[in-house]
Chains A and B, each alone.
Chain A
Amino acid sequence: MTKQHANWSPYDNNGGTCVAIAGSDYCVIAADTRMSTGYSILSRDYSKIHKLADKAVLSSSGFQADVKALQKVLKSRHLIYQHQHNKQMSCPAMAQLLSNTLYFKRFFPYYAFNVLGGLDEEGKGCVFTYDAVGSYERVGYGAQGSGSTLIMPFLDNQLKSPSPLLLPKQDSNTPLSEAEAVDLVKTVFASATERDIYTGDKLEIMILKADGIKTELMDLRKD
C-alpha cells in the first residue's frame, strides 16, 4: 500500500533577488520588485525591503507570506525591546534575534531567504546572510533569492574581501565608495534580469548611513 502524499503544499516561491553590500560607513540594500508565482507575475511593484530599526534593514526573497509573518514578529519584538531598553536595537542584535526567530520554527520553517543590512555599533556597514532555518554569518556582501547564483560569482570577482577567519584579521568591508557600490548593484541586477525569469520590473535600492536612509528606484526589464 503506497503512502498517500499530500497534493497541497503550504509553501510557494514568489521569486525575486536581494543583494546587500557593506561599506566603511554605509550599507546598500537592494531588491527587485517583481512578485511571481509559477510563471505568472502577481505584482510588478512589490517591495521586498523592510526597515526593522534605524540601523537595520531586512530584505527577503522566497515565500512572501512567510516573510510578512516573520517581519511582523521581528517588528513586535523590536517594539518590546525599545520599551524595555529605551533604545533602538543595533544591527548585530537584530541579526541574532532573526536567527533565533527562524530557528524556533526549525520543524516548519519560514520559507524566507534573508539578507540583513545595516550599521554596527561602530558605524561601519554590516551585512548578515541567512539560510532558511537561521544559520547566519556576518559578511562584506551577500545575495539571496532566485538570481543569487548569477550574482554572487560576479560580486566575488569584484569585491572578494579577505575572509574574516584569516589570521591576522583583515577587514571584510568593501573599499568601494557609496556611489561605486550603488553602481555595482545596478549593473548586477541588470545582468541578473537578463537571465533569471523571476527577477525584473523595478529595482529598489536603500542606502543606509548614519544620518538616515535614502531610497532609489530604477527600472529593469519587464519581460
Chain B
Amino acid sequence: MLSCKRNVLSQIMKRTKKNKKKLRKKTLIRNQNPQFEEEESAAEEEGDRGEGFSLKSSAPSHSHGVQPLGNLFLSPSTSNSRITGLGNLRILTDELVLDILGFLGGSHLGVLATVSKSFYVFCNHEPLWRNLVLEHLKGDFFFNGSWKSTYISAFYPSFPVLNNGSSDLKVRDFYSDYLFQSWLCASLEMKREWLERDNIERRRGISVEEFILNFEEPNKPVLLEGCLENWAALEKWDKEYLTEVCRDVRFSVGPVEMKLEDYFRYADRVREERPLYLFDPKFAEKVPILGSDYKIPLYFREDLFSVLGGERPDYRWVIIGPAGSGSSFHIDPNSTSAWNAVIKGSKKWVLFPPDVVPPGVHPSPDGAEVACPVSIIEWFMNFYGATRDWKKRPIECVCKAGEVIFVPNGWWHLVINLEESIAITQNYVSRRNLVNVLDFLKRPNASELVSGTMDRTNLYDKFSSAIEATFPGTIDQLVSKAEETAAKQKKPSFWESVTDAKVGQFKFSFGS
C-alpha cells in the first residue's frame, strides 16, 4: 500500500506551525544558517512572498553538510574548503567538475573520494552513481536506498554497505551552490501556496454534446468527475496486483526497461530531484488484462488515428511514479488532445493556453525543441511566482484518484505527482482537432516534430488518405469550416505566422 510518509499532499494540509519548528531542529541547514531562518520567519509574516522552504520530513540534513555559497559570507571562518580541496580544479565550476567525474568508473570515484573533503562531497553526488548504474545494469538494478549503495552492492557484493546516510562524513566548510541546490530540490516538498490555486472548471455527468460544445470545440481544459465508475482498475490496481499480473514483463522507464517489482522497489525508496518515471506506450499490448481493466470515457471515444490500425503513432500510456516525478512544460505531440485519468495518488497540473509561453520555458522558433532547463520543483521555486501577477494566469488543479483531466490540443502543461501515483493517459484526434493535426503533420520540419511513430515524414499522406477512404469528404468539410471561423476571428494560421518567425511570434512571454 502507499506509505503515509510519501503522502505529501495530506502532510501539507495538516501541517501546523508547531510542526514546522520541529522540522527546523532536525535539519543541520537551519541551525547553521541564521540568514535562512530569518528569511523563513519574514516569509511567514508576509504570508506568501518569502523564500522559506519546508523540507520533506523524511529528508535528513544534507548528508554531507553542504551549504549554499551565500552561507560563506556569514560563517565565522572565511575559508571554503573547496579552494584547497580541489587543488588546480578549483577554477572550474561545479558543473564542469562533475562533467569530468562523469567519465570515471565506480572504483575510481571511490578512490577520488578519499583525496580531500571537497572530492568526498563531489564523489558522493548521487546523479553520478545513477548514471553508472543505468549504464552498466540498465533496468536490472536492485535499488538499495541510494544509487551509490545500489552500485556497490551490485558490483562488490561481499562489501558491507550501510543503507542510510547517517554513516556519511559531515563536511563543515564546504560551500557549493550547485550541489546544495541539487540536494535542496531533491528534498523539497511542494509549498502549500503552490497547491492552493485550483481554478479549472469541473463537471460531473455532462453529456458528450455538452463536452464537445463547451470544452472540446472551444479548446478549453476541464476536470471531469465520476466518469471512471466502471473502471475495474480503480478497485484492482495497486502495487501487489500489478506486480502479480505483470511478473517479468518490462516497462519503459526513462532510458531503460524495468520489471514492475524492481521499479516499485526503487520508487518506494528514492528521493531525488528528477526521479525515474515509468511511462509505457505498449502496456496493453504487453499485458492485455491491463487494457481490459479500463474503458475510454464516453467523451473521448472518437479516435481518428485508429484508421491507421497498427501503424498509428503511440497513443496510450500507463504512467507510474513516486512523489516528485512528472513532466516539465511541453505541448503534446502531433497537435493531439489528451485525457489523463488518475487511478491512484494525485497530480498537480499547471496549464497555459497555446499562445502563452510559460515563464522559464524557451521554445525554438520552429517548435522542434523546448528548452526548459530547470526541474519541476525548481520551476515552482523560481517561476511559479511570476504567474500570479500576470493577467494570463494558468489553469491549475490537483487531480485526484477517480478524476480525469482533459488537455486540449496545443496547450502547454506541467504535471507533478504529489505522492506515488498510477494513471492512464491517451492522446487522440477527433473531428474537432483533425484540421490542426493535419496541418501539423504537413509541416516542412515534420521529420523532427512528429512523434510516436517510426514513419514521420509519410504520416501525413498515410493519415489523410486513410481518413478520406473511411470518411470521404470529411477533411474538406472541416477545412472549409475552419477557414470560415478563422476569417471571422482573423487569427493568423501557422502559415501566416511563419513570416514573423523571429518577430513577436511568442508575444506573451514572461520577462526574460
**A and B bind:** no
Q: Which residues of A approach B to under 8 Å, CB–CB?
A: none
Q: Report B's interface with A, CB cutoff 8 A.
A: none
